[in-house]
Each structure stands twice: as C-alpha cells, then as structure tokens.
C-alpha cells in the first residue's frame, strides 16, 4: 500500500492537472434544474482511419475517422456539455500505422478534440520510444493510473487521474490498463510496473471523492468479461465502490447499451464498450437532478456509417 501511495504522490507531483473550481451540484441549495452531460467514447480503433472496404465483409462501409468526426461535431452542436474519451489500442491494424507509426491517428484525434485516452497494450507495439515520439502530435491528455512509468522514458508523462469541469459539474476520470507481461514483448514496455487495478481503483475513487466530483469515470483497457479469475470490467465494478461509469476496451465487445453491475455498496455501475475499429461511437447521457441529489445514466451505441 505504501508503494502505491508513493507512486500516486510522485505521479501527481510530476503531472500538470486540470484546474477546476466551483461547487458540485449536490451542494447547491435550492437549485431544482437538471444538468445534462453527454459522454462520447471509442475503444480499440486499431488505426482504422478509413471505413472498411466494400469487399463483401461483415463490416464493409462502416467506420472511418472522418465520419466519426462528423457525428461528434453534430452531437456537440446539439448538446451543451460534451466529453470525448477513448479506452486504448489506438495503434496497430492497418498500413497507416506501419507507414506513419501513429502520427496520423494522434493528429486526427486531436482535430476531433478528444479529451483523454488510456494506453492500451497495442499502443506499446513500437515500444516506449514509439509512444514518446508520437506524443507531440497528441493535443489531448493521456491518463494512466496503474502503470508506473517512473523508471522509464515516460516518467511524469501521464496523469493518474484528471478532473474535467462542465458547467457546475466536476467529472473525475482515472484509467486502468491490462497487465502487459505475457501480452506485450518485454522489450516494448521495459521497466513499466503494473499495479493492481482493484487497489488503485479504490485509491483513485477516494481521491476524486475528496475533490467533490459529481461523476467518477474509469477508462478501462482491462477487458469486459473473462471466465477465469483475471480482472475485468465486470469484476472491477463488483469489487469497488464509488465508480459510476466504466468505459471499456480490449475485448472488442459490442454492447448496444451499458451493462449494469451492483457495486459492494449496492449502487449501480454502468459498463459500456463499443466493439472495435470505430464502427460504433458510444454515447452516455447523464442527467443530474440538483434538488433531489440524483443522477441517471442512459447509453447507446451509435453506428458510424
């Protein structure tokens, strides 16, 4: 536990955090209006810049970053408060990555004004040096709570969490990556240390609660559900109190709507994942009722076509 706390303190000291102010909706006495927050999310894009080719395949004509950008832009015009997240594996899967090593993906995501992402296992495919080289092209934030990069070239590069402010709302976001050993060549992640996701999640939730966050989100690249004991989004939700929403990745799971899991204290945790390669765009609408001190989440997966 002491090692994890030391890691958190060092990571916080080395990263520039978003500046937030204002009171959470729960403390605004007498307010009875509803605030709506729209969260858009993707996962496992795998360098799918263009739509799938019209070759008779299952996903022909679907996806493409230009189409996604148009859909995101449309929603931003319709909604006042919007956040856009990605849950990892931006790299690897098409010749665009082989030729440009991730530069194009980061530039296009920057143009779409992503708010934050998490490193997935395939984002290490060109090693730590490959990530470092492309980071200047990313005009969005990287969050990583359970990878300790303190002995690598990425020391002090990623934030363990971030707080976003939308209107009077404070949204706390942390991120959990999958264990790299056995999944990624060791030479690609080197001295990166994997920390237990459940313990880290509990620490992150406490940090964000102490900051009076109205909504706590976990960006996850753990995977949706495994038969074995390996930690996944479903197990995480059932073991950790205080998480409102898990935006998942890694297992390429298509969910038309979020799965609801009860946390140990009996509260609902929404889990959503939208397949792979940008075929779908996840949308979560969160309505906050100030007077009743309640929030309601509803999600869908939108076609990108």
173 has a pLDDT exceeding 60: yes
Evaluate if residue 293 carries a pLDDT over 80. Answer: no
pLDDT-derived band at 32 (thresholds 50, 70, 90) equals low
What is the number of H-type helices and E-type strands within the chain? 8, 14
Residue 65, token pair as written in the block? 């970053």
Q: What's the pLDDT band for 294 if we cut at 50, 70, 90?
A: confident
The phi, psi pair for 136, rounded to 5°, reads -60, -20
- Please give the pLDDT value at position 290: 66
Mean pLDDT of 182-187: 95
Half-sphere exposure of 286 (CA within 13 A, CB side): 23
Percent of the chain with pLDDT strictly greater than 70: 88
pLDDT surpasses 80 at 107: yes
2-303: CATH number: 3.60.21.10
Q: What is the pLDDT of residue 6?
A: 54
Tokens representing 48? 């799918």
Report, as an integer, the average pLDDT of 119-126. 96
> How far is 298 from 42, CA to CA, in rounded Å?
16
Which pTM does this prediction carry?
0.88
pLDDT in tens, 134-168: 999 999 999 999 999 999 999 999 999 999 999 99
Q: How many whole angstroms separate alpha carbon 86 and alpha carbon 92?
A: 15
**Can you give the pLDDT at residue 279?**
97
């Amino acid at each position: 536990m002491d090692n994890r706390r030391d890691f958190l303190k060092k990571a916080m000291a080395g990263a520039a955090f978003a500046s937030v102010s204002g009171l959470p909706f729960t403390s605004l006495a007498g307010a009875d209006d509803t605030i709506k927050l729209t969260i858009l999310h993707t996962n496992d894009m795998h360098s799918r810049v263009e739509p799938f080719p019209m070759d008779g395949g299952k996903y022909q004509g679907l996806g493409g970053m230009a189409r996604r950008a148009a859909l995101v832009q449309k929603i931003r015009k319709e909604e006042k408060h919007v956040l856009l997240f990605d849950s990892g594996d931006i790299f690897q899967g098409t010749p665009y990555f082989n030729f440009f090593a991730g530069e194009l993906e980061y530039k296009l995501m920057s143009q779409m004004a992503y708010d934050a992402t998490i490193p997935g296992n395939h984002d290490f495919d060109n090693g730590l040096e490959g990530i470092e080289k492309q980071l200047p092209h990313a005009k969005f934030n990287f969050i990583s709570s359970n990878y300790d990069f303190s002995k690598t070239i990425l020391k002090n590069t990623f934030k363990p969490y971030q707080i976003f402010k939308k209107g009077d709302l404070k949204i706390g976001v942390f991120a959990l990556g999958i264990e790299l050993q056995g999944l990624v060549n060791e030479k690609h992640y080197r001295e990166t240390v994997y920390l237990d996701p459940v313990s880290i999640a509990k620490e992150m939730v406490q940090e964000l609660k102490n900051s009076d966050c109205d909504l706590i989100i976990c960006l996850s690249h753990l995977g949706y559900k495994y038969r074995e004991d390996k930690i996944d989004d479903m197990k995480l939700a059932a073991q950790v109190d205080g998480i409102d929403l898990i935006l998942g990745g890694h297992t390429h799971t298509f969910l038309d709507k979020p799965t609801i899991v009860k946390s140990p204290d009996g509260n609902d945790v929404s889990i959503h994942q939208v397949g792979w390669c940008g075929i779908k765009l996840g949308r979560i609408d969160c309505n906050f009722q100030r007077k009743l001190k309640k929030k309601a989440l509803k999600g869908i997966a939108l076609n990108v076509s």
